């Protein structure tokens, strides 16, 4: 059961919160897990590229300025089956979508609060159909760049 701290909607219903609006917080009363969802002023972009096997693929990335230069974090779906879904349903012909960050936190047995960010691209059709997919950094260094960009451009 979820108890919403800020408003009366659940996590999946809040996917289209505008970056300039607010942070949504949901508490799962059964597990004690807290989920904060926010749109940041960053966008996931996609561009077609050729793989090492010669086939054409879409590459997903976030670009922003760090210390005066462009920095890029490459993103991938959390499983290989997600690429058709992200291309056809979530991006739906667009090459740029807002990045949504969901920060979860929970208290470990030793009392320490553990925080973790998850990266999502979300979209809602005019008819109310909701689409979302979780992404992760291609490499550990991509997560470092992405976290720096979120720190700089986040709300």
143: closest CA among 74, 83, 67?
74
DSSP notation for 21-77 = S--EEEEETTT--EEEEEEEEEEEEEEEEE-TTS-EEEEEEEEEEETTEEEEEEEEE
* 55-108 per-position pLDDT tens digit: 998 999 999 999 999 999 999 999 888 988 998 899 988 999 999 998 888 888
Q: What is the spatial distance between Cα 94 and Cα 140, in angstroms, rounded to a whole number?
A: 27
pLDDT of residue 74: 97
Q: Is the pLDDT of residue 143 over 70?
A: yes
103-120 pLDDT tens trace: 888 888 898 988 888 999
Give the pTM.
0.71
Range of the domain at 144: 2-153
The total of structural domains in the chain comes to: 1
Strand-pair category, 96-107 with 2-4: unpaired
């Amino acid at each position: 059961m979820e108890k919403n701290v800020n408003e009366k909607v659940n996590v999946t219903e809040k996917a289209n919160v505008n970056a300039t609006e607010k942070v949504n917080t949901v508490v799962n009363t059964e597990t004690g897990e807290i989920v904060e969802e926010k749109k940041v002023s960053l966008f996931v972009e996609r561009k077609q590229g050729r793989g090492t096997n010669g086939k054409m693929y879409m590459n997903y990335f976030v670009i922003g300025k760090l210390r005066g230069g462009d920095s890029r974090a490459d993103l991938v779906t959390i499983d290989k089956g997600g690429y058709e879904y992200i291309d056809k349903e979530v991006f739906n012909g667009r090459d740029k979508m807002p990045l949504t960050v969901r920060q979860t936190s929970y208290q470990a047995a030793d009392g320490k609060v553990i925080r973790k960010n998850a990266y999502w691209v979300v979209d809602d059709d005019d008819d109310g159909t909701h689409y979302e997919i979780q992404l992760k950094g291609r490499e550990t260094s991509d997560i470092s760049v992405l976290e720096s960009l979120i720190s700089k451009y986040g709300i």
